[in-house]
Structure 1
Amino acid sequence: MVFKEEQKFTQWWLWLILIGIGILPIIGIYNQLIVGDGFGNDPMSDFIFIVFCLLIFGLIAVFWFMRLKTEIDQNEIRMTFIPFLKKRVNWKDIKNAEIVNYGFVGGWGIRLGTKYGTVYNTKGNKGLAIELLNGKKFLIGTQKETELNKILDKKATWQQTRK
C-alpha cells in the first residue's frame, strides 16, 4: 500500500499575475540603475530599490519551488509543504481519515481555522481530511481522489484483518 502525490501551483492566472509583478522590478532596474532616471520625480534609493527587487523575485521563487508532497504507506501519512513544513502521522494516532469536498476555503496554500483544521492545498477542492485521536484536524489537498480512496479502502481492509 503506497500512495505518492506531488502538487504545485500551476494555475495560469496565478503565473500571469506573478510574471506581471516580476516585470515591474525589471523595468525599474533598467530605468533606475541603467538609464539613471528611476520611477517618477523622487525615486527610492538604489539600496532600497535593490531590496524591493529581491523581495519581489524572492516571492516569485517561493511559488516556483513550492510543492505539496503526500506519501502514504501502511505505517504513516507523510506530508511536506516545501519550503514550509513537514508532517508525519502514524496511522495508530488517527481517529478518522476520509476524502472530502472542502469547497473553497479562502484560497490555496496553508489555510488556518477552517472546519477541517489547517488545510494544505495548491488547487482544487478535494482532500484527505484527518482527525487525530487528540482532537486535532488537518486536511491535505489532492488531485488523485480515486487513487487515494483505493488506499483508504486498502487500509481499512488491512486493519480489519489485523484485529
Structure 2
Amino acid sequence: MTNRIILYREKQRFRQFWLWVVVLAVASIFWTGFVYQVLLGGSYGNRPVSDVQLAVLFVLVGLGLPYFFYRMSLTTEVQPGEVRVRFWPFHIKPVKIPLHLVRDYERVTYNPIVDYGGWGIKWGSEGKAFNMSGSEGVKLYFYNEKPLLIGTQQPEELMSAINEAKRGKSDVEA
C-alpha cells in the first residue's frame, strides 16, 4: 500500500437547522411514546403497540435516526491525479475520479433544491451532485459523461487543490 499526498481534505456534515428540527421532531414522537407507555405504564395512541414493539421503534427511530443523520458525512479529498468523494454511509469506499477524465472544472454557485432536488447524492438535469449543505461547489466536466458537482464550504481551496493535482499527476504516476 502506497502513501499518497493529500492536497485537500474536507469533511462536511448536515448543518441545516430546519433538517435537525424535522429529524428531532420525528424522534421526539417516539421518545414521548416510549416514556409515556413503557416507563409510565400508559397507552400511547388510539391503537397502541406492545411495549417491546415500541421499545424497538424507540431505538430505531428515536435514537437511530438522529444518530444516522449526525454521523452522515461527505468527505472530499484531492490527491495528485484524482479526486475522491465519500458520502458515508452510502459509500463504503470513496468514489475515485481520475483527473485525466476531467476536461474542465469551475467554481459554481447553485440552487440545491431547484438544480438537484436537495442535498445528498443527487441526480438532476445538471448532472450528478454530492453535496451536504450550502450552495457553492466545484463542477467537473467530463469528456463523455454528464457533469459532477462536488459541494464544498471551501470552493477556492478545492479549486486550487484540483489545479495542483492536475499539474502534479505525471510526477506521482510511475
Give the aligned CA root-mean-square deviation in angstroms.
Answer: 2.5
Counting matched residue pairs gives 160
| TM-score (structure 2 length as normaliser) | 0.79
1:30-53 superposed Cα distances (whole Å, 9 cap, x missing partner):
111122222134212334323432
Counterpart of 1:132 (choices 106, 124, 142) is 142
Whole-Å separation in 1 of the counterparts to 2:141 and 2:106? 9
Counterpart of 1:44 (choices 41, 49, 70) is 49
Gaps of 5+ in 2: 1-5, 170-174
Whole-Å separation in 2 of the counterparts to 1:74 and 1:40? 58
Look up the equivalent residue of 2:30 and give its one-letter code.
Answer: P
Gaps of 5+ in 1: none
Aligned to 1:94: 102
2:138/2:159 contact within 8 Å kept: no
Whole-Å separation in 2 of the counterparts to 1:128 and 1:157? 18
1:99/1:149 contact within 8 Å kept: yes
**Residue aligned with 1:139, SS:** strand
2:139/2:148 contact within 8 Å kept: yes
Aligned to 1:151: 161
1:31-76 superposed Cα distances (whole Å, 9 cap, x missing partner):
1112222213421233432343233132211111011110102221
**Residue aligned with 2:45, SS:** coil
Percentage of identical aligned residues? 32
Whole-Å separation in 2 of the counterparts to 1:43 and 1:156? 60
- Alignment map for 1:1-163 (pairs within 5 Å): 2-56=7-61, 57-85=63-91, 86-104=94-112, 105-115=116-126, 117-155=127-165
Whole-Å separation in 2 of the counterparts to 1:151 and 1:42? 57
Look up the equivalent residue of 1:72 and give its one-letter code.
Answer: V
* CA shift for structure 1 position 28: 0.8
* CA shift for structure 1 position 18: 2.1
